Structure 1
Amino acid sequence: MEEQTNRTPNRMEQGETRVDDLHLDRVVASQPEIGPTPPDGGYGWLIVVSAVIYHITVPALLSLYGLIILKAIREEGHEDNEVLKIWDVDIALVPVIALVIRLLLESWCRAVVKIFHMPRFMALSGLCLTVAGVLLSSYSTDAASNDHIVNTFSGIFAGIGCALTGQQTEVIITHYFREKLTMAQRIVRMAPSVGNCLVPILIGYLCSVYSGDVVVMIYGAIIMQNCIFLASYTRPIYIEKVLRHTYNMLRDAVEDEDEVIFSNQARKSEAERKNNEPSSSQGEPSSSHNNMAVEEDGTDVVVFNSKKNAKEILDPSIQYRENRPASKQSRFSSDFSTMYDTGSNRFSSDFGSLDINTYARVNGYQELENIDRQAPQPLYRETTVNAPTNSVVFAAEVSPGTARRTASLKKNFFTITNMLKDINFYLYALLHICTTFSILILGLIFPPLIWEQNPSMNIWSVSTLIAAAHGSALCFIMLCVVLPKSINEKARLCAAFCVAGAMGFYGIAMSSNKSLLVVWCMLASFSTAASSILQQPLYNSTLNEFDTTATMTASNTIVAIFIMTWSLLYNYDYKTCFLTASILQTVTACMFFALSFRRRR
């Protein structure tokens, strides 16, 4: 009894440890899709810090080019009654083209990132392309320079680099987090607001000391320092070890057929085997050893200890039949005439003695019914041979490759059809247009607009005002990080953010007071940043019925076409740009609020 009482806690402790060890990391499975579990922290937080530093410096390129445009206009000279327009300085083409290229290539870059699995190489390659585009744009910082080719290629290089590094960052964060993934993504999406607060102060100081081309090159060198942090992008250890070693062990175990044992008989030791080998080599019959082995355990089946020197353990009756001198027939023949005779051979193919009328007791052979009337049909044949009309999917002349391509096209067609029928797709695309356009206008055009309405201000004072406005908005943006993962009222929350943005952009266009500009810019910055942060959970929650890649590609294409068409259609003045952003915010708010009353699916 004492032993039983002592064993009970030990069993409970073992049970507890076994429950604690039930993780997918320790499961050997034939399909790697079921595991393992991301660590949710550890080295992943270093990845998040590196991504935050990258998103502080690179998205702030809009503020850089906005202050460079202001510096070029001030150096050229500006009259009091002159209305400034977006294409007065040709370098404004760089951020617009970079944004359009990034939107068009994000889905392709995401596919490349997932195919090659080289996070450090992809991230650093994108960073080098971004720096190359920034440095190339330093040749057209003057207001008099109108080199469209240089600015176009600068925007293309910067757009490709931002798309590649940005998608690599999003993918690698999902490898390190699962439970805390939403928080990590929100922290990264909040980083551009920190950049909008810090970078204008740095650029304003550099613009007051150096010329425009030197400022651009210095900031390109600052962006290049991200290579130190992006070098930390690496695949998680659990992917390297578990997927590469644990699943390979399973594969090797399945493919290794050198030792296949199906026997209940205890193995002999190596010494006993070595002692028996000389006796067999001296010419003694091996049947005696086999009989001894069979007497020990009669439940043995065929055992192959190895492919080399394999021996077969036979049933005694079969062994007697094989060894008797009366049996002159070989073990393997093609005569099934004596299939039910215990003294006959085991293998044959003659069904002559089988009663055809008793085929019903054999379930799997339906063709035996007409075996005496027609030639036997092959057991395995293609589905298109002698098949009834309209009973197969593909015709007999269609190759397997053509069938796969046809099925893939049909799948993509159904995916696009379902996407276009879903109202959530249009809501996401509308929010994407509103947020992207607002971020572009607020970063690129707000600095020269402040100076246009207050010509007495210098570049340093303008950059300080911008930093104060974004810093005030950052206090409210930080609250978005602690929002719950699943927000039940996403539509109404987005509507509230868009209403605040509409007020901010309309106030910027209509007021010239410095204090009011800070307040309106704070509302606009808070709205765009909060909508961008909320865009990720909204994207994850509404895209559960159709393919993510198709939705991402379609929405990015719509936004890119809208921005490119709007920017090239007419040379708008600065106030018109902010009024357009205010109208977009208002329309988006109305749509989300109206559709928040629909029945939830």
Structure 2
Amino acid sequence: MEVQPIPTVNRVERGEGRVDDLHLDRVVASQPEIGPTPPDGGYGWLIVVSAVIYHVSVPALLSMYGLIILKAIREEDHAEEEDMKIWDVDIALVPVIAVVIRLLLESWCRAVVKIFHMPRFMALSGLCLTVAGVLLSSYSTDAASNDHIVNVFSGLLIGIGCALTGQQTEVIITHFFREKLTMAQRIVRMAPSVGNCLVPILVGYLCTVYTGDVVVMIYGAIIMQNCIFLASYTRPIYIEKVIRHTYNMLRDAVEDEDEVIFSNQARLHENKNAQRTNTQEEPSQSTAQDEDATDVVVFNSRKNAKEILDPAIQYRENRSVSAKESRFSSDFSSIYDTTPSRFSSDFGTLDITSYARGVNGYQELENIDRQVPQPLYRETTVNAPANSVVFAAEVSPGTARRTASMKKNFITITNMLMDINFYLYALLHLCTTFSILVLGVVFPPLIWEQNPSMNIWSVATLIAVAHGSALCFIMLCVVLPKSINEKARLCAAFCFAGAMGFYGITLTSNKSLLVVWCMLASFATAASSILQQPLYNSTLNEFDTTATMTASNTIVAIFIMAWSLAFNYDYRTCFLTASVLQTTTACMFFALSFRRRR
């Protein structure tokens, strides 16, 4: 039989020295586990739009709580030139705890999202938890309210919800994009800057009309409208096809009751028997005989079916069965006629001294008194001689799996601690997260502290103008090529601009200068957030990525919580700390820009 040549896809032409790109969509395979590639668009852009709308409204909760703190402070009498502190209003616990809990649970939520594969359910569940936390925090919007339990639970719910929905958003975007993945991720990361520009205007207007608790409840209702957009989260069509095809194959394999497997020799033997007896074969069997000799699967009804074996194999099986029957027979009369059986129960005719003539199973009886007693336990590693095996060589699959997992974790942690990229990512993550927290929560009351004549609406307008001006520069980071984001000096320049902005906010009370300094701080913070993605993707594999994210998030959460609880800082001290972090990050990236990164 002639073997047809297999057509090759994307052949390598050595004469031209050219290699075509390999696309998984063009690979012909029996199973589609390895492909195809994501569509890079189409329905994925709707997912991106939904993610952008979510990130416009939810991360801007920090700005909303900053204006609520300002409204609570204004309703309380404060002496002139009195330095206000971060814990003067108890509701400040909510954004701080929410940020810490989100950092601690991001890696766990990412694992849950990848295990259950229910994007719509996970995203909506996180949204519901976030809304519940926002509505619960409306009970402690007054300056005189000191209900720590309500604020702590509000921060817990908001942090859990933001972590769950945020990780689901990051994972589902990777399912729809491959070549345009960087562009989609940058657009989503730019969305909080748009929220910082729009939300202060909305909340500032609401604060001039309603009380603080009503403003929080209205904003919670606005966030709840994201359920319309998050309902669009679904798996791509190609993933659904793979899952459906695999499920159908498994179901057919379980439900198929007509599959009987024959060997080639068995079919040849049956053909000879059929020719001798001139019997009529089954239609399905005659069809199977006309096929190629290499085919071994024949479909036939299982009624009255049996496995057809080779005559030699069947002879050996019959012989072994007869041997077993004779060997373990209960008829002891044959013992005296033949060689004594090893398993006979009649030991009267046996002579222990003449055991060597036929009975080999009792050789130890002659020297039983002269044998050295053996210990009931094996030697330990201390007393064991050299080149001896103390433990059994056989290892159970569970023990081997646990040992391999522990070794893998140890190797991953060791490689992570020896990689300079981990420390760069952790430092940039700490700088960015702390700057976003301070700029959102502390900046509104600091403006009013430096300019007591301003009302809430004027403060909200100033914040919106500053973030809007920064947004014009942030959009440039979206259209930059991928290679630009891997430049350490570019990140150092952004962090240096942020250090100038945070430090300048503490020096002046002029409104125009405050807009400029806030614009620098907002631009540097958003650009640093976008630059985190190359460092996050620089790890070797998914396991290393998870370890890096978990370790860095834990470091940032511990720092923020320890810094917040160590002392009741005033507002200027918060911005000075952010300026110090920005300066440190800029110096580190600039110093390490001279090395050769992998």
Q: TM-score range by the shorter chain?
A: 0.7 to 0.9
Q: Is the 8 A contact 2:485 2:534 kept in 1?
A: no
Q: Is the 8 A contact 1:197 1:471 kept in 2?
A: yes
Q: Which moved more, 1:216-225 or 1:22-31?
A: 22-31
Which amino acid in structure 1 is aligned with residue 428 of structure 2?
Answer: L
Which amino acid in structure 2 is aligned with residue 24 of structure 1?
Answer: D
Aligned to 2:143: 143
Which amino acid in structure 2 is aligned with residue 558 of structure 1?
Answer: I
Q: CA deviation at 1:26?
A: 7.0
Q: Is the 8 A contact 1:50 1:230 kept in 2?
A: yes
Q: Which moved more, 1:73-82 or 1:158-167?
A: 73-82
Residues 42, 455 of structure 1: CA spacing in aligned structure 2 closer, same or farther, 3 A cutoff? same
Q: Is the 8 A contact 2:85 2:570 kept in 1?
A: yes
Is 1:503 matched with 2:495?
no
Q: How far apart, in 1, do the equivalents of 2:595 and 2:97 lie?
A: 38
Aligned to 2:299: 306
Give 1:285's match in structure 2, choosing from 252, 265, 277.
277
Q: How far apart, in 2, do the equivalents of 1:20 and 1:171 lie?
A: 26
Aligned to 2:473: 476
Is 1:185 matched with 2:185?
yes
Q: Which moved more, 1:388-397 or 1:202-211?
A: 388-397
Q: Is the 8 A contact 2:421 2:535 kept in 1?
A: no
Q: Is the 8 A contact 1:193 1:474 kept in 2?
A: yes
Mapping for residues 180-579 of structure 1, pairs under 5 Å: 180-245=180-245, 248-249=248-249, 258=259, 285-286=277-278, 305-308=298-301, 395-396=392-393, 398-487=395-484, 489-543=486-540, 547-579=544-576
Aligned to 1:347: none
Q: How far apart, in 1, do the equivalents of 2:449 and 2:121 lie?
A: 44
Q: How far apart, in 1, do the equivalents of 2:490 and 2:390 lie?
A: 48
Q: Is the 8 A contact 2:498 2:520 kept in 1?
A: yes
Q: How far apart, in 2, do the equivalents of 1:435 and 1:53 lie?
A: 22
Q: How far apart, in 2, do the equivalents of 1:579 and 1:22 lie?
A: 52
Is 1:131 matched with 2:128?
no
Q: What are the superposed Cα offsets for residues 183-224 of structure 1, whole Å, 9 maximum, x if unpaired?
A: 111100000000000000000000000000000000000001
Q: CA deviation at 1:478?
A: 0.6
Aligned to 2:374: none
Q: How far apart, in 1, do the equivalents of 2:468 and 2:295 lie?
A: 79
Which amino acid in structure 2 is aligned with residue 258 of structure 1?
Answer: E
Q: How far apart, in 2, do the equivalents of 1:158 and 1:449 lie?
A: 25
Residues 389, 548 of structure 1: CA spacing in aligned structure 2 closer, same or farther, 3 A cutoff? farther
Mapping for residues 110-125 of structure 1, pairs under 5 Å: 110-125=110-125
Aligned to 1:24: 25
Q: How far apart, in 1, do the equivalents of 2:291 and 2:525 lie?
A: 79
Q: What are the superposed Cα offsets for residues 357-387 of structure 1, whole Å, 9 maximum, x if unpaired?
A: xxxxxxxxxxxxxxxxx99xxxxxxxxxxxx
TM-score, normalised by the number of residues in structure 1: 0.76
Aligned to 1:41: 41
Q: What are the superposed Cα offsets for residues 299-348 of structure 1, whole Å, 9 maximum, x if unpaired?
A: 95786633448799999xx9xx99xxxxxx9586669xxxxxxxxxxxxx
2:562 aligned counterpart, secondary structure: helix
Q: CA deviation at 1:413?
A: 1.1
Residues 390, 566 of structure 1: CA spacing in aligned structure 2 closer, same or farther, 3 A cutoff? farther
Q: How far apart, in 2, do the equivalents of 1:391 and 1:248 lie?
A: 53
Q: Is the 8 A contact 1:130 1:160 kept in 2?
A: yes
Aligned to 1:351: none
Q: CA deviation at 1:38?
A: 1.0
Q: Is the 8 A contact 1:416 1:550 kept in 2?
A: yes
TM-score, normalised by the number of residues in structure 2: 0.77
Q: Which runs of 5+ in 2 are unaligned?
A: 1-6, 12-19, 265-273, 321-359, 362-384
Q: What are the superposed Cα offsets for residues 225-252 of structure 1, whole Å, 9 maximum, x if unpaired?
A: 1111111111111111133216754995
Q: Is the 8 A contact 1:304 1:311 kept in 2?
A: no
Q: CA deviation at 1:539?
A: 1.2
Aligned to 1:5: none
Q: Which moved more, 1:298-307 or 1:105-114?
A: 298-307
Q: CA deviation at 1:396?
A: 4.1
Q: Is the 8 A contact 2:421 2:538 kept in 1?
A: no
What is the root-mean-square deviation of aligned Cα atoms in Å?
3.7
Q: Is the 8 A contact 1:30 1:247 kept in 2?
A: no
1:305 aligned counterpart, secondary structure: strand
Q: CA deviation at 1:499?
A: 0.5
Q: CA deviation at 1:258?
A: 2.0
Q: How many residue pairs align between the two structures?
A: 506
Q: CA deviation at 1:407?
A: 1.6
Q: Which moved more, 1:236-245 or 1:428-437?
A: 236-245
Q: Which runs of 5+ in 1 are unaligned?
A: 1-10, 264-279, 323-328, 336-373, 376-387
Residues 331, 81 of structure 1: CA spacing in aligned structure 2 closer, same or farther, 3 A cutoff? closer
2:195 aligned counterpart, secondary structure: helix
Residues 426, 300 of structure 1: CA spacing in aligned structure 2 closer, same or farther, 3 A cutoff? closer
2:208 aligned counterpart, secondary structure: helix
Is 1:175 matched with 2:172?
no
Q: Is the 8 A contact 2:536 2:545 kept in 1?
A: no
Aligned to 2:89: 89
